[in-house]
């Protein structure tokens, strides 16, 4: 039998979806039957990964899409499974991650009128008024499949939204009866469903931005997610070198610029200090950034000119957003940067000015490198500096390593001390819901099986990531990766948030702020129990190097996960 569910699976394959992250329920008999039928008859279907937790499933699809650029499918159970996707929904939306989420829904008949009609008590309980409404605020597109006859068109339309800038998650829901419906096989002309082509700058915009860059004394690029497209990184390097533009990363979600390049000026997170490069810039070109600066602590000079190029310049998902830009342009970063470089191939910039700017920024770059090197001292006998941990990890990296960062109060430590040069070597969630790193590491490893994947996360984030589920999946589907936990025995960030607003209040004098996990769980042992991971707790600096060697051996040679629970100073 060729059912709507068979067609659904076929549509996924047509669209290049290679993996389904699934959490099954009573809404899915037709899909489970269609998968079994496809396997029995040798039909091509995506690989199915059973995911015991939905948030982990969506985080895995998130990591997969970041590394490969390709959306995958997440299948969940009615409205409960949709809710269990939890904060991963927010992360996929905020991170602009293409992914197709499909949920079944309760049967809409109860007397056996149609195949799939109600036959279990839970189908009354799970019948809700607006299942799509649970996630609608976060989706680029949502719809209900009402007949199997055009199910393929809806899958392809949803994925066209997911793949078109600003990319993001899409949600389809299909009731049991519809998913059971027998339909006629049909093939799809996929060229009809290609994503919207990347937008370019107008000629006038190119001239305006180029002229401003060329005449500025201290031109500065600020970016966060330009590196989502690795080709944009090379385009930015080319333009920056042509003109002598400094590059600052603000809240970077990707590797946007090679850290060793002399125009690189570092990465800015929540540090409550004015950034000097931002203060002295007379022209700031913001490219692909949600938070280029935090005005209450760090901002450009009042008379600086600000231009903004972004795939999402309006920040359509954010009710409050403005940066005081003189002009904003909706364009694809790689395309826009290539246009600007083409302009300067025709209109060569003045050599002396370029040399002066380059020397100025190179001096800042060198001074920063010296400052950072001093911070890499090991620490004391009973606590290890995060900077030291990160520097030790750095010495084990190669071109083929992928970092999934959920460092939280160590985000900037990871950014500063890994010193990554390779585009596509670092990813963060792009959102604010903790627990992304474990699932994302699985997705990254699936997308790039040849890569060594290292997740670096806070102890709180590790617990949010549902490590029991993550490590069961990682073993079951052979996606070994290394986790390094910055264990400061709790949630440092909420404490920092409170003290930033109430520096001299009761909280500043209190002995406890309800943010510590003393004594902490044995984090590494959770992964060992759930998925046979190599588990090591490290409390002294001299234990770290041998543990890293053992852990990387476990991941690369034994093909099993490793978790290093590293005790950094108490929060
Ligand atoms: C799902 C979710 N719940 C709560 C928060 C609020 N929150 C932000 S940072 C943080 C602490 C994270 O702890 P950890 O990963 O150990 O990082 P640390 O701050 O200690 O460096 C919390 C609870 C959040 N961002 N997301
Ligand atoms: Mg912590």
Site to probe by mutation for ligand 1, drawn from 409, 464, 491, 494 as the one with most ligand atoms within 8 Å of Cβ, is: 491
Q: Is the pLDDT of residue 185 over 80?
A: yes
Q: Order across the sheet with 99-105: list the strands.
A: 47-50, 19-22, 73-76, 99-105, 169-175, 141-144
Interval between CA 120 and ligand 1 midpoint (Å): 39
Q: Which long-range contacts (CB under 8 A, 24 or more apart) does 546-552 make?
A: 548/392, 548/393, 548/396, 551/482, 552/396, 552/452, 552/482
pLDDT digits (tens, 9 = 90+) for 554-569: 999 999 999 999 999 9
Check if the beta carbon of residue 172 is closer than 8 Å to that of residue 143.
yes
Task: Please indicate whether residue 408, judged by its CB atom, sits closer than 6 Å to ligand 1.
Answer: yes
The ligand placed nearest to the CA atom of residue 462 is 1
What is the mean predicted confidence (pLDDT) over 282-286?
A: 98
Task: Please indicate whether residue 431, judged by its CB atom, sits closer than 6 Å to ligand 1.
Answer: no
Task: Please indicate whether residue 436, judged by its CB atom, sits closer than 6 Å to ligand 1.
Answer: no
Ligand 1 atom nearest the C-alpha of 571 is 20
The ligand placed nearest to the CA atom of residue 437 is 1
Q: What is the pLDDT of residue 381?
A: 79
Instruction: Pick the closest to residue 373 from 426, 416, 343, 436 (CA basis).
Output: 416
Ligand 1 atom nearest the C-alpha of 409 is 21
pTM: 0.98
Instruction: Pick the closest to residue 532 from 480, 476, 475 (CA basis).
Output: 475
Ligand 1 atom nearest the C-alpha of 434 is 26
What is the mean predicted confidence (pLDDT) over 120-138?
A: 98
Interval between CA 218 and ligand 1 midpoint (Å): 37
pLDDT grade for 379, boundaries at 50, 70 and 90:
confident
pLDDT grade for 225, boundaries at 50, 70 and 90:
very high
Residue owning tokens 């001074």? 367
Lookup: tokens for 95: 């991170």
Cα-Cα-Cα-Cα torsion 144, 147, 150, 155, nearest 10 degrees, comes to 30
Interval between CA 253 and ligand 2 midpoint (Å): 20
Q: What is the pLDDT of residue 276?
A: 97
Could you give the percent of the chain with pLDDT greater than 90? Answer: 99
Lookup: tokens for 420: 């990554």
Ligand 1 atom nearest the C-alpha of 86 is 1
Return d(Cα 87, Cα 80) in angstroms, integer: 14
Task: Please indicate whether residue 86, judged by its CB atom, sits closer than 6 Å to ligand 1.
Answer: no
- Specify the pairing of strand 482-487 against strand 305-310: unpaired
Task: Please indicate whether residue 488, judged by its CB atom, sits closer than 6 Å to ligand 1.
Answer: yes
pLDDT grade for 383, boundaries at 50, 70 and 90:
confident
Site to probe by mutation for ligand 1, drawn from 458, 465, 566 as the one with most ligand atoms within 8 Å of Cβ, is: 458
pLDDT digits (tens, 9 = 90+) for 302-343: 999 999 999 999 999 999 999 999 999 999 999 999 999 999
Interval between CA 494 and ligand 1 midpoint (Å): 7
- Specify the pairing of strand 383-384 against strand 379-380: antiparallel
Q: Is the pLDDT of residue 109 over 90?
A: yes
Angle (CA) 344 346 350, round 5°: 55
pLDDT averaged over every residue in the chain? 97
Q: What is the pLDDT of residue 206?
A: 98
Task: Please indicate whether residue 491, judged by its CB atom, sits closer than 6 Å to ligand 1.
Answer: yes
Nearest residue by C-alpha to atom 23 in ligand 1: 491
Q: Is the pLDDT of residue 382 over 90?
A: no
pLDDT digits (tens, 9 = 90+) for 402-453: 999 999 999 999 999 999 999 999 999 999 999 999 999 999 999 999 999 9
Task: Please indicate whether residue 88, judged by its CB atom, sits closer than 6 Å to ligand 1.
Answer: no
Q: What is the pLDDT of residue 177?
A: 98
Q: What is the pLDDT of residue 144?
A: 98
Q: What is the pLDDT of residue 380?
A: 82
Return d(Cα 275, Cα 498) in angstroms, integer: 22
First to last CA, the chain: 60
Q: What is the pLDDT of residue 562?
A: 99
Interval between CA 564 and ligand 2 midpoint (Å): 14
DSSP characters over 479-496: ---EEEEEE-SB-HHHHH
Q: Is the pLDDT of residue 1 over 90?
A: no
């Amino acid at each position: 039998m060729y059912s709507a569910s068979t067609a659904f699976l076929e549509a996924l394959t047509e669209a290049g979806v290679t993996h389904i992250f699934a959490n099954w329920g009573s809404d899915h008999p037709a899909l489970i039957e269609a998968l079994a039928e496809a396997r029995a008859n040798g039909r091509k279907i995506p690989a199915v990964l059973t995911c015991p937790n939905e948030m982990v499933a969506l985080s895995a699809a998130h990591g997969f899409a970041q590394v490969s650029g390709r959306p995958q499918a997440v299948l969940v159970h009615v409205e409960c499974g949709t809710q269990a996707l939890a904060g991963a929904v927010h992360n996929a939306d905020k991170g602009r991650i293409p992914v197709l989420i499909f949920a079944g829904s309760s049967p809409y008949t109860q007397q056996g009128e149609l195949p799939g009609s109600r036959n279990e008590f839970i189908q009354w309980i799970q019948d809700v008024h607006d299942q799509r409404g649970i996630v609608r605020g976060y989706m680029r597109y949502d719809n209900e499949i009402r007949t199997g006859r055009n199910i393929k068109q809806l899958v392809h339309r949803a994925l066209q939204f997911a793949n078109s800038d600003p990319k993001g998650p899409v949600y389809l829901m299909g009731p049991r009866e519809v998913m059971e419906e027998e339909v006629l096989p049909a093939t799809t002309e996929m060229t009809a469903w290609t994503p919207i082509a990347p937008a370019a700058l107008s000629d006038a915009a190119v001239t305006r931005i180029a002229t401003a860059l060329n005449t500025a004394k201290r031109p500065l690029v600020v970016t966060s997610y330009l590196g989502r497209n690795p080709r944009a990184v090379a385009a930015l390097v080319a333009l920056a070198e042509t003109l002598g533009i400094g590059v600052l990363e603000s809240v970077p979600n990707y590797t946007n610029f090679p850290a060793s390049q002399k125009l690189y000026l570092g990465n800015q997170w929540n540090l409550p200090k004015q950034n000097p490069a931002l203060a002295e810039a007379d022209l700031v070109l913001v490219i692909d950034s949600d938070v280029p600066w935090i005005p209450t602590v760090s901002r450009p000079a009042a008379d600086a000119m600000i231009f903004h190029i972004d795939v999402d310049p309006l920040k359509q998902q954010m009710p409050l957003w403005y940066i005081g830009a003189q002009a904003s342009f909706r364009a694809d970063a790689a395309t826009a940067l290539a246009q600007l470089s083409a302009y300067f191939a025709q209109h060569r910039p003045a050599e002396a000015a370029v040399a002066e700017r380059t020397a100025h920024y190179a001096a800042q770059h060198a001074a920063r490198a010296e400052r950072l090197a001093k911070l890499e001292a090991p620490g004391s006998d009973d606590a290890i500096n995060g900077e030291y941990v990160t520097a030790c990890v750095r010495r084990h990296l190669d071109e083929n390593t992928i970092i999934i960062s959920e460092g939280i109060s160590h985000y900037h430590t990871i950014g500063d001390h890994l010193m990554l040069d390779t585009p596509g070597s670092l990813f963060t969630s792009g959102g604010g819901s903790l627990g992304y790193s474990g699932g994302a590491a699985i997705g990254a490893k699936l997308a790039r099986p040849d890569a060594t994947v290292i997740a670096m996360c806070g102890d709180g984030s590790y617990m949010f990531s549902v490590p029991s589920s993550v490590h069961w999946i990682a073993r079951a589907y052979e996606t070994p990766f290394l986790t390094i936990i910055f264990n400061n025995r709790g949630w440092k960030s909420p404490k920092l948030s409170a003290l930033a607003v109430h520096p001299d209040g009761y909280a500043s004098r209190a002995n406890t702020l309800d943010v510590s996990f003393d004594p902490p769980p044995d984090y590494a042992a959770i992964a060992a129990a759930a998925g046979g991971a190599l588990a090591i707790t490290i409390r002294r600096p001299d234990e770290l190097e041998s543990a890293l060697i053992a852990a990387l051996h476990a991941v690369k040679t034994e093909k099993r996960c490793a978790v290093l629970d590293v005790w950094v100073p108490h929060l």
